[in-house]
Structure 1
Amino acid sequence: MTQPARDIEPFRADAGAIIAGAPVELLVGGKWISATGGNRFDVADPSNGRTIASVADGAVTDGIRAIDAAEASATMWRQTPSRRRSDILMRCHQLMLDHAEWLAQLISLENGKALPDARGEVIYAAEFFRWYAEEGVRTLGDIGHAPGGANRILVQYQPIGIAVLVTPWNFPAAMATRKIAPALAAGCTCVLKPAAETPLTALAIGAILMEAGLPEGVVNIVTTTVAGPVVSAMLHDSRVRKLSFTGSTAVGRILLREAANRVISCSMELGGNAPFIVFDDADLEDAVAGAMVAKMRNGGEACTAANRFYVQRGIYDAFVRRLTEEMSSLSVGPGLQATTQLGPLITATAVEKVDRLLKDAVARGARIETGGAPVSGEGFFYPPTVLADVAPHSDIAKEEIFGPVAAVSPFDTEDEAVRLANDTEYGLISYVYSGDLRRALSVAERIESGMVGINRGVVSDPAAPFGGMKQSGLGREGGHHGLLEYLQPKYIATNW
């Protein structure tokens, strides 16, 4: 049954005090500078749509200035001993923890996510600095004999070179550190282009990097509303050797074509359409708890969010009922409000997309159990929503929802569950709940996704390789694999 839209209690956060310590200019060559022409753009609080800051709006010339700075420091940073690089990364980790509450409030203010989610993101983001501080001092290399006995085989791993890092708005701290940390550990200099919706967090991390003693020009940050031309110009610069992008598959395809012109190495973490499979023998309460995490982390605005719930018929009605109870109980409000469990979506366009997908599903026979309509008033709010009996051919089963809507469908057999899970062009992450570990592992092997959570609603970990199959991307971030993305092997043949 559809519940009435809730009233969102107005919340007047002291935005000025929160953003007072956050830089609002470009970081180029270790200095905070204005954009070319002095251009600026406004950053809004999605809880009410009001402007909270004015940030430098970089142009193509600013992107190239950042590449100049990265080149000027490249040799120095490449030759810096790994222990020295590690020490700086470890200081970054500690400084992020020291400033954790301020960073969380900043994220919540410009992104809208509930403060508990923002706090969790800061801890997660900081951990990438610690992981790569430790991983970066592991000596990489191999030595062996050619099978024919002609020579020795020596393999060294060298920094790939200047990296362009492009990050999304949904995890403005974690997506930045997940790219910056391995790049620095490998000995690469870089230019970060954060999302225009959430530039303040990235600039704050830039300030932390400088406070930690990172040499000038090793990390440069260009905020801009003309991302296409700026990133394209950098990718066509012969000095750039690496692109790491997190975002939609559509934009990823464009950037891959751009990068192909100069044969630039690419890491791509793209869209998802995660299936969440629940078998009859699953523990119902565990499955619902996992569903709440997998679906509602960051309010559903995550590439890892459970997008399609497939529940075996024997447990289907009970699962829908319990999930509806849990979703209905969530408190909706501005991210900084103490009682908020679900904040706003990022923009009005995001709300319109979620509502379009819901209406299409209902038109094809889905039943609204709770929620189901945008919340009126200021801000970009959509209530926690459960849809039951969603038809497999609905748009909501094909597109990434990126919002707080759980689309649930029944299934009968294991083969049917696998077929439904794989019926998508995406393959980032999947979730499987079962009391039979053998079956869960068997299904996990058959599902076409780069990551699988078995009886877990979250799998992300800085020590694990994060990435997908099919149209969900190329390469991996996190773990040892994430460091290798910024290194290139060199084979040396010799005798002694």
Structure 2
Amino acid sequence: MSESERERAIIAAVPKGSFIGGAWHEATESFAVEDPSTGKILCQVADGTPADGAAALDAAVRAQPRWAAVPPRDRGEILRRAFELLMARQEDLAWLMTLEMGKPLAESRGEIAYAAEFFRWFSEEAVRIDGGYAVAPNGRGRFLVMRQPVGPALLITPWNFPMAMGTRKIGPAVAAGCTMVLKPAPQTPLSMLALAGILQEAGLPDGVLNVVPTTRAGEVVEPLLRGGRVRKLSFTGSTAVGRKLLAQCADYVVRASMELGGNAPFIVFDDADLDAAVEGAMLAKMRNIGEACTAANRFYVHERVAPAFAERLAARMGALKLGRGVEPGVEVGPLIDAGAREKVASLVADARKRGAQLLVGGTSLDGPGYFYRPTVLLDVSADARMRHTEIFGPVAPINTFETEDEVIAAANDTEYGLVAYVYTRDLGRSLRVSERLETGMVGLNQGIVSNPASPFGGVKESGLGREGGRVGIDEFLETKYVAIAPP
């Protein structure tokens, strides 16, 4: 089978409708899914309407009582089977992701494995939902504490990690006993539609998961949040959209967890292992083409080691191979669309106009697709827009610092607080800096923090709540207290 034949077969195997109540539904309208590496249309997907959203929620509400009563072990076994199916189909799912999102196949394979791990992790957490029993302090009664599913949940996922952001939400919801309506990003709906089929095959009952792809997010989502039947919202996306959704949740006091924007500092002290720091910088900056909320956005390097660090990073960035993610040896794919590339180009032009020194990159590629060369800038002024904006692209702006207090103040000088990266060999400094950074996560001498077994999330305007780890299931559980009369 040729490469083009394989691509067509993989796309053809994915249903293109909304998945509601265990059945696939076509729509009167559709939208195009584009290959960002060529600009060509891969397929058309049903464009869900407010009526489709309402039908999906109807199905979730009907299924909720039955699903909540399913034994935790049975819920866990469904997730375990889905984990095994994801891994068995890793290669085709990786191709699908690369075609709709653009990242190189190696990264897509890694994301499928990462996504599957959320199902394995929460399959084990399903049977560990606990409660409590205690004697009242005065001895005149007993306390019984139980934990129950919060109820139907609305899940909204982004385009940059189209499989993992779905499993990170679906896994704990299934384990906790919640039904769901999921709206995937219109740029990358195919991975979630494929996942819906896999979960059905794994034995997930009809109506527990409903998927509605749509380009009319506001029209579809707002009525669901304002109707009083959705009891939980889990959203990953921009801070601006998160604010609007929180306002919509307020009328019915819908529980919300939000994983929003980031502006991650990457701090290199003068005692750092520079080889390790450069390697970590490549991971923190270039994972997913820089289109990640965890991407290093501001590099602060001690003035004694900044020249060596900048030279090495520029050499590594400049040597990366760009191209279609399905091609052998490609390390950097395209940005998601023309608007994303224009934003990156505009941020780089603004920084250079304000005096930043260009070390490598700084230009778009000619030809089809939305490619931008990996870029390193030095001495980016404080008023440059990229210092205060989530770049979401392959650009590393470097500035120098002299003291610990100075760099902590600079790192915390943002409304965001998702993640920070710190490189130092000083144990005391490691602890001091980690404690002083105003972020929900810290990568200490490593450039990747994401792990299904750890709590993922931020502070300040980077979000509410945590996903993954032992606390990830808490977002989908309510605590009920029963006061018992003395025996």
TM range (shorter): over 0.9
Secondary structure, in 3 states, of the residue corresponding to 1:136?
helix
Answer yes or no: is the 8 Å Cα contact 1:476–1:482 preserved in 2: yes
Per the alignment, residue 411 of structure 2 pairs with 421
Structure 1 residue 338: Cα displacement: 1.4
Secondary structure, in 3 states, of the residue corresponding to 1:213?
coil
Aligned-partner Cα distance in 2 for 1:182–1:398: 33
* Comparing 143-152 and 300-309, the one that deviates more: 143-152
Per the alignment, residue 8 of structure 2 pairs with 16
Aligned-partner Cα distance in 1 for 2:372–2:129: 49
Secondary structure, in 3 states, of the residue corresponding to 1:426?
coil
Corresponding position: 1:82 with 2:72: yes
Corresponding position: 1:255 with 2:231: no
Corresponding position: 1:212 with 2:202: yes
Aligned-partner Cα distance in 2 for 1:322–1:13: 41
Corresponding position: 1:469 with 2:459: yes
Match runs of 1:43-82 below 5 Å: 43-82=33-72
Aligned-partner Cα distance in 1 for 2:36–2:227: 36
User: Tell me, which stretches of 5 or more residues in structure 1 are unaligned?
Assistant: 1-10
Secondary structure, in 3 states, of the residue corresponding to 1:427?
coil
Structure 1 residue 12: Cα displacement: 5.9
* Percent sequence identity over aligned pairs: 56
Letter in 1 for 2:390: E
Per the alignment, residue 318 of structure 1 pairs with 308
Corresponding position: 1:410 with 2:427: no
Answer yes or no: is the 8 Å Cα contact 2:129–2:147 preserved in 1: no
Answer yes or no: is the 8 Å Cα contact 1:13–1:336 preserved in 2: no
Structure 1 residue 176: Cα displacement: 0.3
Structure 1 residue 143: Cα displacement: 1.8
Per the alignment, residue 7 of structure 1 pairs with none
Per the alignment, residue 487 of structure 1 pairs with 477
| Number of residue equivalences | 484
Match runs of 1:155-234 below 5 Å: 155-234=145-224
2:374 to 369, 384, 390: 384
Per the alignment, residue 137 of structure 1 pairs with 127
Structure 1 residue 375: Cα displacement: 1.3
Structure 1 residue 145: Cα displacement: 2.8
Answer yes or no: is the 8 Å Cα contact 2:259–2:458 preserved in 1: yes
Hey, which bits of structure 1, 4+ residues long, moved more than 4 A?
Answer: 11-14
Answer yes or no: is the 8 Å Cα contact 2:102–2:325 preserved in 1: yes
Secondary structure, in 3 states, of the residue corresponding to 1:309?
strand
Structure 1 residue 407: Cα displacement: 0.6
Corresponding position: 1:336 with 2:309: no
Answer yes or no: is the 8 Å Cα contact 2:20–2:56 preserved in 1: yes
**1:199-239 Cα deviation digits (max 9, x unpaired):** 00000000100110111010000000001110111111221
Aligned-partner Cα distance in 1 for 2:136–2:415: 42
1:327 to 297, 317, 329: 317
**1:22-59 Cα deviation digits (max 9, x unpaired):** 11111000001112xx1111100000111001101000
1:31 to 15, 23, 27: 23
Aligned-partner Cα distance in 2 for 1:154–1:301: 46
Aligned-partner Cα distance in 2 for 1:356–1:288: 26
User: Tell me, which stretches of 5 or more residues in structure 2 are unaligned?
Assistant: none
Aligned-partner Cα distance in 2 for 1:366–1:183: 46
Structure 1 residue 147: Cα displacement: 2.6
Answer yes or no: is the 8 Å Cα contact 1:142–1:154 preserved in 2: yes
Structure 1 residue 13: Cα displacement: 7.6
The CA RMSD over aligned residues, in Å, is: 1.0
Letter in 1 for 2:15: P
